[in-house]
Amino acid sequence: MKISQGVEWGLHCATLLALAPPDRVVRRDRLAAHYGLPEAYLAKHLQAMARAGVLHAVPGPRGGYRLGREAARITVLDVVEAVEGSTPPFLCQEIRQRGTGALPPDQCRRPCAIHATMTAADQAWRASLRTVTIADLVARLPAGVRERNEKIVS
Protein backbone atom coordinates (compact mmCIF):
# COMPACT_ATOMS: atom_id res chain seq x y z
CA MET A 1 0.00 0.00 0.00
CA LYS A 2 1.31 3.41 -0.88
CA ILE A 3 0.19 6.54 0.95
CA SER A 4 0.56 9.89 -0.79
CA GLN A 5 2.72 12.66 0.56
CA GLY A 6 -0.51 14.61 1.09
CA VAL A 7 -1.24 12.43 4.12
CA GLU A 8 2.09 13.36 5.69
CA TRP A 9 1.47 17.02 4.90
CA GLY A 10 -2.05 16.86 6.29
CA LEU A 11 -0.97 15.19 9.52
CA HIS A 12 1.82 17.71 10.11
CA CYS A 13 -0.50 20.64 9.39
CA ALA A 14 -3.23 19.25 11.66
CA THR A 15 -0.68 18.71 14.44
CA LEU A 16 0.53 22.27 14.02
CA LEU A 17 -3.03 23.66 13.98
CA ALA A 18 -3.77 21.75 17.19
CA LEU A 19 -1.35 24.12 18.93
CA ALA A 20 -3.31 27.20 17.87
CA PRO A 21 -5.85 28.86 20.17
CA PRO A 22 -9.38 27.73 19.18
CA ASP A 23 -10.31 31.09 17.62
CA ARG A 24 -7.05 31.47 15.66
CA VAL A 25 -6.70 30.58 11.98
CA VAL A 26 -3.42 29.99 10.20
CA ARG A 27 -3.00 31.05 6.60
CA ARG A 28 -2.18 28.45 4.00
CA ASP A 29 0.96 30.29 2.88
CA ARG A 30 2.31 30.21 6.45
CA LEU A 31 1.72 26.47 6.68
CA ALA A 32 3.40 25.91 3.32
CA ALA A 33 6.38 28.10 4.23
CA HIS A 34 6.79 26.47 7.64
CA TYR A 35 7.14 23.03 6.08
CA GLY A 36 8.77 24.10 2.80
CA LEU A 37 5.84 22.80 0.75
CA PRO A 38 4.41 24.01 -2.56
CA GLU A 39 1.40 26.10 -1.57
CA ALA A 40 -0.79 25.11 -4.52
CA TYR A 41 -0.44 21.39 -3.79
CA LEU A 42 -0.88 21.89 -0.07
CA ALA A 43 -4.07 23.85 -0.79
CA LYS A 44 -5.60 20.81 -2.47
CA HIS A 45 -5.02 18.65 0.60
CA LEU A 46 -6.18 21.31 3.06
CA GLN A 47 -9.38 21.75 1.07
CA ALA A 48 -10.00 17.99 1.11
CA MET A 49 -9.49 17.98 4.87
CA ALA A 50 -11.92 20.89 5.24
CA ARG A 51 -14.54 19.08 3.11
CA ALA A 52 -14.18 16.08 5.42
CA GLY A 53 -14.63 18.23 8.54
CA VAL A 54 -11.08 17.65 9.79
CA LEU A 55 -10.29 21.33 9.24
CA HIS A 56 -12.42 24.44 9.16
CA ALA A 57 -11.62 26.90 6.37
CA VAL A 58 -12.18 30.60 6.94
CA PRO A 59 -12.35 32.50 3.64
CA GLY A 60 -11.09 35.99 2.95
CA PRO A 61 -7.88 37.97 3.31
CA ARG A 62 -7.75 37.26 7.04
CA GLY A 63 -8.80 33.67 6.51
CA GLY A 64 -6.99 30.43 6.94
CA TYR A 65 -7.46 27.09 8.61
CA ARG A 66 -8.09 25.73 12.06
CA LEU A 67 -9.08 22.30 13.29
CA GLY A 68 -12.65 21.31 12.53
CA ARG A 69 -13.05 19.78 15.98
CA GLU A 70 -10.86 19.26 19.01
CA ALA A 71 -7.60 17.42 18.39
CA ALA A 72 -8.60 14.51 20.63
CA ARG A 73 -11.55 13.83 18.30
CA ILE A 74 -9.56 13.75 15.04
CA THR A 75 -7.86 10.45 14.30
CA VAL A 76 -5.00 9.73 11.97
CA LEU A 77 -7.50 7.67 9.96
CA ASP A 78 -9.71 10.77 9.59
CA VAL A 79 -6.82 12.58 7.92
CA VAL A 80 -5.85 9.59 5.77
CA GLU A 81 -9.42 9.20 4.53
CA ALA A 82 -9.84 12.94 3.97
CA VAL A 83 -6.77 13.02 1.73
CA GLU A 84 -6.85 9.53 0.17
CA GLY A 85 -10.51 8.60 0.36
CA SER A 86 -11.95 5.59 2.11
CA THR A 87 -11.81 3.09 -0.74
CA PRO A 88 -9.95 -0.06 0.35
CA PRO A 89 -6.56 -0.45 -1.34
CA PHE A 90 -7.34 -3.99 -2.54
CA LEU A 91 -10.06 -4.45 -5.11
CA CYS A 92 -10.86 -8.09 -5.80
CA GLN A 93 -11.34 -8.69 -9.52
CA GLU A 94 -12.63 -12.26 -9.06
CA ILE A 95 -10.04 -13.62 -11.46
CA ARG A 96 -10.74 -17.07 -10.08
CA GLN A 97 -13.84 -17.05 -12.31
CA ARG A 98 -11.91 -16.27 -15.51
CA GLY A 99 -9.60 -18.04 -17.91
CA THR A 100 -8.95 -21.75 -18.28
CA GLY A 101 -8.89 -22.20 -14.51
CA ALA A 102 -12.29 -20.56 -13.97
CA LEU A 103 -14.30 -21.90 -11.07
CA PRO A 104 -18.05 -22.24 -11.38
CA PRO A 105 -20.07 -19.44 -9.70
CA ASP A 106 -21.41 -21.81 -7.01
CA GLN A 107 -17.82 -22.25 -5.74
CA CYS A 108 -17.34 -18.48 -5.49
CA ARG A 109 -20.12 -17.51 -3.12
CA ARG A 110 -17.66 -16.47 -0.44
CA PRO A 111 -14.53 -14.36 -0.79
CA CYS A 112 -11.40 -16.31 -1.59
CA ALA A 113 -8.55 -16.56 0.91
CA ILE A 114 -6.65 -13.77 -0.85
CA HIS A 115 -9.60 -11.39 -0.69
CA ALA A 116 -10.27 -12.29 2.95
CA THR A 117 -6.61 -11.81 3.91
CA MET A 118 -6.34 -8.44 2.19
CA THR A 119 -9.62 -7.25 3.74
CA ALA A 120 -8.48 -8.32 7.21
CA ALA A 121 -5.17 -6.50 6.76
CA ASP A 122 -6.95 -3.31 5.65
CA GLN A 123 -9.32 -3.52 8.63
CA ALA A 124 -6.41 -4.00 11.05
CA TRP A 125 -4.52 -1.05 9.55
CA ARG A 126 -7.56 1.21 9.78
CA ALA A 127 -8.31 0.06 13.33
CA SER A 128 -4.74 0.95 14.32
CA LEU A 129 -4.91 4.43 12.74
CA ARG A 130 -8.29 4.99 14.41
CA THR A 131 -6.64 4.68 17.85
CA VAL A 132 -4.19 7.57 17.35
CA THR A 133 -5.47 11.14 17.50
CA ILE A 134 -3.96 14.46 16.55
CA ALA A 135 -3.75 15.19 20.29
CA ASP A 136 -1.65 12.01 20.67
CA LEU A 137 0.70 13.24 17.92
CA VAL A 138 1.01 16.63 19.63
CA ALA A 139 1.90 14.88 22.89
CA ARG A 140 4.69 13.02 21.07
CA LEU A 141 6.35 16.11 19.59
CA PRO A 142 10.06 16.19 20.45
CA ALA A 143 11.42 18.76 22.87
CA GLY A 144 11.64 22.19 21.28
CA VAL A 145 9.42 21.39 18.30
CA ARG A 146 6.23 22.25 20.15
CA GLU A 147 7.60 25.65 21.17
CA ARG A 148 8.87 26.39 17.65
CA ASN A 149 5.54 25.38 16.15
CA GLU A 150 3.53 27.39 18.67
CA LYS A 151 5.26 30.56 17.39
CA ILE A 152 3.75 29.95 13.95
CA VAL A 153 0.18 29.66 15.23
CA SER A 154 0.17 32.31 17.95
The pLDDT tens digits for 48-76 are 999 999 999 999 888 999 999 999 999 99
d(CA 37, CA 133): 23
| Domain of residue 96, residue span | 5-153
CATH of the domain at 17: 1.10.10.10
Tens of pLDDT, residue by residue over 89-123, are 889 888 889 989 889 888 888 999 999 999 999 99
Contact indicator for 28, 63 with CB cutoff of 8 Å: no
Using a 10 angstrom Cβ sphere, with 0-12 exposed, 13-18 middle and 19 or more buried, the burial of residue 121 is middle
Domain tally, the chain: 1
Task: Count helices and strands (H / E) in the chain.
Answer: 7, 2
E strand or H helix that includes residue 64: strand 64-67
Helix (H, G, I), strand (E, B) or coil at 75: strand
Helix residue ranges per DSSP H, 56-133: 76-84, 113-130
pTM: 0.90
